Each structure stands twice: as C-alpha cells, then as structure tokens.
Amino acid sequence: MDKPNTCTYCNLSEARIFDHSALSIAFKDVFPVSPGHTLIIPRRHVESYFDLTNQEREDMTALMIRVRSKLKDEFNPIGFNIGINEGFAAGQTVSHINMHVIPRYKGDVAEPRGGIRWIFPEKAVFWNAKPAATPETP
Ligand SMILES: [Zn+2]
C-alpha cells in the first residue's frame, strides 16, 4: 500500500522532519511525554512492525541510534525508553507503525524503576514480589 491519503504519517510536512534515512523518517511527537520525544517511522505505509522488511527494521534502528545521539546533545537526558505500540490492544493509535524514542530525565517520575512495566501500574513494582513459578523455580 503506497501513501494512503488518510494516513497522518504518510502526509507529514517536510517541516516536521527531524531526521531521515533511506527508508525511515524521524519527527517530534506533537504530544510529547518528555522533552525531545521523537517518533521513527518507515517511509512505507506499514501497520505492523512484523510486516516490515528486515532492511526497513535495520534502517529504523540505525536512524533511532542517530536520533538518540542528537537528543543527547540537545536535551542531555540521562536515559531513554524505546518502544513500539503494536496493535490496538497495545495502544497503537495510528495505523502506520511508529517507534517512540523517549528521553528520560532525573526526577521526571517519582519511581522510574520498572520502566515499560508501568503500562500495568499494579504490576510495575516487582522488586518486592515473589517471582511467578517457572520450570526452573517450581
Ligand atoms: Zn502511513
């Protein structure tokens, strides 16, 4: 599928492009969760990360690494969350796969430990919990 007219990301204005590569584009999130919050998308309209070609995934990763470097220089964060919301149940709201690069700063949340686990707040704090049983821990 090439550039459907209804896709916001297929119709980004040039002015919004923060960086780009042969197969990917980086732009700042219009609803940033932290200063510098950036999205990486493939140039090709693809809904699922798992439908990208390996070349597209590699290109997105290479651009993400370059974007991280630029964000470090511009914002001086002390960490990053890198994430993809894959599918409606996981929070994907635009049907053009996008990778979030979220700079993190000292004190930006009360408890950063657990990171992505906070998508389920009641399960985020694991450090005092007993691990679930596994074949190794009956
Ligand atoms: Zn698109």
Q: What is the pLDDT of residues 75-114, one digit of tens each?
A: 999 999 999 999 999 999 999 999 999 999 999 999 999 9
2 pLDDT more than 70: no
- What's the gap in Å between 59 CA and the centre of ligand 1? 17
In this structure, is residue 129 part of a structural domain? no
- What's the gap in Å between 134 CA and the centre of ligand 1? 41
- What's the gap in Å between 27 CA and the centre of ligand 1? 14
- What's the gap in Å between 45 CA and the centre of ligand 1? 4
In this structure, is residue 63 part of a structural domain? yes
- What's the gap in Å between 98 CA and the centre of ligand 1? 10
In this structure, is residue 16 part of a structural domain? yes
Total count of domains within the chain: 1
Token pair of 4, please? 């459907």
3 pLDDT more than 70: no
pTM as predicted: 0.90
Assign 49 to helix, strand or coil.
helix
- What's the gap in Å between 87 CA and the centre of ligand 1? 15
DSSP E strand stretches across the chain: 17-20, 24-28, 38-42, 79-84, 99-104
In this structure, is residue 4 part of a structural domain? no
- What's the gap in Å between 40 CA and the centre of ligand 1? 12
In this structure, is residue 132 part of a structural domain? no
- What's the gap in Å between 42 CA and the centre of ligand 1? 9
- What's the gap in Å between 78 CA and the centre of ligand 1? 32
- Which CATH number do you get for residue 52? 3.30.428.10
Decide if 17 contacts 27 (C-beta within 8 A): yes
In this structure, is residue 87 part of a structural domain? yes
Decide if 43 contacts 75 (C-beta within 8 A): no
What is the domain extent for residue 40?
9-124
- What's the gap in Å between 46 CA and the centre of ligand 1? 7
